Structure formats: C-alpha cells, structure tokens
Amino acid sequence: MAGNNPNSKPMNLTLKVWRQKNSQAAGTLETYQIKDISPEMSFLEMMDVLNEDLLLKGIDPVAFDHDCREGICGMCSLYINGRAHGPERGTTTCQLHMRKFSDGDTITIEPWRAGPFPVLKDLCTDRSALDRIQQAGGYISVNTGGVPDANEIPIPKNIADKAFDAATCIQCGACVAACKNGSAMLFTSAKVSQLAMLPQGKVERKTRVENMVAQMDKEGFGACTNIGSCAAECPVGISLENIAMLNREYINASFTSENV
Amino acid sequence: MSWFSKTFSSSIGRKLVVAVTGLFLCSFLVVHLIGNLQLFKSDGGASFNIYSHFMATNPIIRTMEIVLLLGFVFHIYQSLYLNRKNNSVRKVPYAYNRPQDNSNWSSRSMGLLGTVILLFLIIHLYNFFWRARFGEPNMIDIEGTGYDDLYSVVVQSFQLWWYVLIYVVAQIALGLHLYHGFSSAFHTLGLNHKKYTPAIQKFGAFFSIVVPAGFASMPLYFFIQGLLN
C-alpha cells in the first residue's frame, strides 16, 4: 500500500475512535489496529482504509464528515490527538497527511465537542448552528441585475485584502472545537467584519451585527475570553483581529443603531 | 427587553463590563502602589501614617472607595456568570486535549487566577482595611497630632513568613491575571490597531510584571529587615 517514494515505509497504528450510534446514545472510544498505512495517504484516506477493514469484519464503519477533500469546503472536522484538524497548523483534516505520524503511534480521534454541535453519529456533528448565525445577518440585500463594471465602487486595496482574508472562513467550526469556552466568536467575527469593511455591507451594518450576535448567544455558544486558541487552530488563518472588530461593531451598533 | 439590558446581557456586553471594570481596577492598582511606596521612606512610618489618615478620611477618597467596591462587584459577578456559562458549553469533555499547543496557561486560567486574587483580597482587607477602619490600632504622635499607627501594623504583619508567602503567591497570580487581562480588555473594547496594539501588548506585559513586583517587594522588604535586626 506504500506509494512510489522508497522512503515511505508503511505504518502500523492504533486508533482510538469515538463511536456513538446516534445523538441520544452514549458514546465511547473504541480501539482499532490498522496496518500498512502509507505516509502519503491523507488522514481521511486512512479513515477510508479503516472503514474498509471494519466492513470486512462486519463492523459498522465510522461515520465522519468530508466532502471536497481539497481543504476548501469546510466539511471535514475531527479532533485528532487533542487538536482541531490535527497537529499541523493551517490545514484541514483532509489536507493532513499520515507522514505527520510515525509507525506505532496511537491516534485519538474525537468529534467537535460543543453543546451547539450535537454529535449525530460517531464523528459527525450537526454544525447548522453556524448556518443560523449566518442567516441572521451574514448577507447583503441588493437587487440582482446586470453585472456591475469592475472597480465601479472604489475599495482601498488594504481593505479589500482584509475583507477577503475574513471571507476565507470555510465555516468548519474548528474555532468552536478548539475554544475552551466553546465560543463561536471567531466564526461570527469573520462573517461580520468581512461585510462591515465593504461598501456593499455598510447598509445593514448595525442590524447585522446585532442580529448575528443575538443568534450566536441564542445557539448556546460560550463567550470569548480572548485566549486565541481559535485563531491558532483555524485551518485558513482567520485573524484574532476580526474579534476585536466584531466587538467594536457590536458596541457601536448597540449604542447608535435605531433598533430600540 | 430594552436595548440597554439586551446589550449588557449579551455575551459581548458582559465582556465589555469585565473589560471596563478590569481597566478601572488596573488604575486602582497604580494609585495603591504609588501610595504604599511611602512604606519605604525611612521616617519611622510618619508619612505612611499621615497618608493612611488622609485616605481614610478624605470625602473624595471615601466616595471612590464605593465606586471601587462596585468595580470589584461588577468585575467578579460578570466574570463568574460568563465562566459558569462557558464551562457548561462543552458537556462531554475531550478524552485527549492539548490546549497547551494553541494558547497560554494564564489566558485559559483567568477564573482560577481571579479566585486566588479574591481570596487574597479578603485576607488583605481583613488584616489592614478592617483594622484601620474599625479596629483600635495604637496611636502615634506625629508633630503634635495623633495618628493611628498603621505603619507598625504593616511591619508586624510582615514578620510572619507564611503571611509574606500568601502575599507573594497572590502577586504572582495577579501578574499572570494582568498579563492576559490588560491587553485583552483593549481587545474586548474593540480597540485594535496596527499602530497601537503592539504597544498595548508590550505595556500590558510591563504592567503585569512591575505592579505585582512592586506590591510583593513590600512584605519581602519588611520580612528581610526583620531577619536582619
């Protein structure tokens, strides 16, 4: 199963995987031995191999979220050896490769843990709470029509860059998973600041931040204590600055918006 | 719910209260430290006793004392509220977690550090504030006027090694609390800027070392002096 690289020796690993039948059932960590894993495999390919093994043994395969496997969709998750998306910084689980592990390693794999992210099955969690925050105000209301000319609305380069950096959030929920408080502030701040910085987003600026923060609290996420573990674990490098901007936006909106 | 109570019962609103009161309490630390530096004056405690008398009787100071108490109450109440809420979010803990790979211990332990500081505060207030205000310390004559001899209370208290130890441990906790808290307060207020944030963080680190070290130097000074005599 090893790749073409002569240096890549196949590895034998011990996996401790969270198994949970459904959202109501209590889960446990099950131990599985897995053999001949190529260091060139991605983490999710290793999970595929595990599932093939389990199927052959007549065991229910492990359910885990994944989609694009290119690090852009935000569907994969997994808390690997105590870290959201595993030990490597700035990558999603699907972009984590087995070469980051060594032969004989024990790898503990758990789902995202947060009240607003209930476990559906095994490693799959329901992250629709983030969708509802987004739906509470993470949009702009404009009439569709002809395509506007490029650069019709002047936006300074540095602002466009910052807004784009915030817009790279893939809504995977690693920030919530890594946060000691289970706070969704980094996610919400990326969505709020992205639109607050751009002219098109300024129309609904105040109402947006009020509604999105209200929804964030309603979903039961914790409060941010500026620890910074979210930004450290974020696979796309959303900056903590966005949280300061969200605070600024929220304070400003609370005291100056027309919403009584 | 009115917009006001809605704002201050939101997670960000509550943090705002913690941040504002936290910075206010930082300003108190500075005043308290500067005033207490008079303990080091070698005049047998005359200036410290006069200063203590002023602090206990001046109407502006007495009013600020109430504001200070409210600052503590709001800071502690909101922090406890948020801490309890935050601790309840993750109902099933991780079997294997490595927070040390992505954050500082002090940042994650603000509740614990705050509790240590609060316990210290109770001991500290009982020993000095309570005795100064409601106790009967010995009187001392300074230039013809009688003053409560609080200087001697301070000197005697710091002859006990375990009492000095309590103070030093509490100041270490305060330092770690400030190390996160000072710059974090600015972040919560939304005050983040390329030009100023690095300076705020550097000053916060400086503040978190110098202020607790200044406070810790007092019990250590009198303890060592007691050993030498």
Chain B residues touching residue A254 (CB < 8 angstroms):
3, 6-7, 10, 13
Amino acid A150: pLDDT: 87
DSSP state of B130: I
Distance from C-alpha of A20 to C-alpha of A7, rounded to nearest angstrom? 37
Amino acid A151: pLDDT: 86
Extents of the domains making up chain A: 11-120, 127-140+153-256
Chain A residues touching residue B89 (CB < 8 angstroms):
114-116, 181-183, 220-222
Q: Which CATH topology does A11-120 take?
A: Ubiquitin-like (UB roll) (3.10.20)
β-pairing, A11-19 vs A106-110, is parallel
Answer whether A216 sits within 8 Å of B11, measured CB to CB: yes
* DSSP count for chain B of H helices, then E strands: 10, 2
Distance from C-alpha of A172 to C-alpha of A76, rounded to nearest angstrom? 7
> What is the assigned CATH class of domain B11-87+108-228?
mainly alpha
Q: Is A37 helix (H, G, I), strand (E, B) or coil?
A: strand
Distance from C-alpha of B177 to C-alpha of A131, rounded to nearest angstrom? 35
Mutate: best of B102, B177, B196, partner A, most A CBs <10 A = B102
**Closest residue by Cα to residue A44 from A1, A94, A79, A91:** A94
Alpha-carbon distance values, A151 to A148, A193, A196, B24 (Å): 9, 21, 18, 46
The yes-or-no verdict on residue B132 having pLDDT over 80 is no
Tell me the average pLDDT across B5-13.
Answer: 96
Extents of the domains making up chain B: 11-87+108-228
Distance from C-alpha of A122 to C-alpha of A120, rounded to nearest angstrom? 7
Burial A133-164 (b: 16+ CB within 10 A, else e): bbebbbeeeeeeeeeeeeeeeeeeeeeeebbe
Measured in degrees and rounded to the nearest 5, phi and psi for residue A124 equal -90, 130
Amino acid B130: pLDDT: 83
Amino acid A4: pLDDT: 55
Amino acid A41: pLDDT: 95
Summarize pLDDT for B139-150 with one digit per residue, the tens: 888 888 888 899
Summarize pLDDT for A64-96 with one digit per residue, the tens: 999 999 999 999 999 999 999 999 999 999 999
Alpha-carbon distance values, B224 to A36, A255, B38, B88, B229 (Å): 66, 53, 18, 46, 9
Structure tokens belonging to residue A161: 């860059």
Measured in degrees and rounded to the nearest 5, phi and psi for residue B194 equal -45, -40
Summarize pLDDT for A116-137 with one digit per residue, the tens: 999 999 999 999 999 999 999 9
Summarize pLDDT for B141-193 with one digit per residue, the tens: 888 888 889 999 999 999 999 999 999 999 999 999 999 999 999 999 999 99
The yes-or-no verdict on residue B6 having pLDDT over 90 is yes
Asked if B24 contacts B71 with a C-beta cutoff of 8 angstroms, the reply is yes
Distance from C-alpha of A99 to C-alpha of A145, rounded to nearest angstrom? 50
Which CATH code fits A127-140+153-256?
A: 1.10.1060.10
Answer whether B97 sits within 8 Å of A183, measured CB to CB: no
Answer whether B92 sits within 8 Å of A180, measured CB to CB: no
Amino acid A7: pLDDT: 59
Summarize pLDDT for B63-117 with one digit per residue, the tens: 999 999 999 999 999 999 999 999 999 999 999 999 999 999 999 999 999 999 9
Residue of chain B minimizing CA distance to A29: B95
Residue count (chain A):
260
Amino acid B118: pLDDT: 98
Amino acid A1: pLDDT: 46
Summarize pLDDT for A162-186 with one digit per residue, the tens: 999 999 999 999 999 999 999 999 9
Mutate: best of B2, B81, B89, partner A, most A CBs <10 A = B89
Asked if A173 contacts A92 with a C-beta cutoff of 8 angstroms, the reply is no
Residue of chain B minimizing CA distance to A182: B89
Tell me the average pLDDT across A101-116.
Answer: 97
The yes-or-no verdict on residue A5 having pLDDT over 90 is no
Q: Which of residues 1-30 of B touch A (CB under 8 A)?
A: 2-3, 6-7, 10-16
Distance from C-alpha of A173 to C-alpha of B210, rounded to nearest angstrom? 39
Angle at A175 between CA A170 and CA A176, to 5 degrees: 115
Amino acid A2: pLDDT: 44
Amino acid B135: pLDDT: 76
Amino acid B51: pLDDT: 95
- Complex ipTM: 0.92
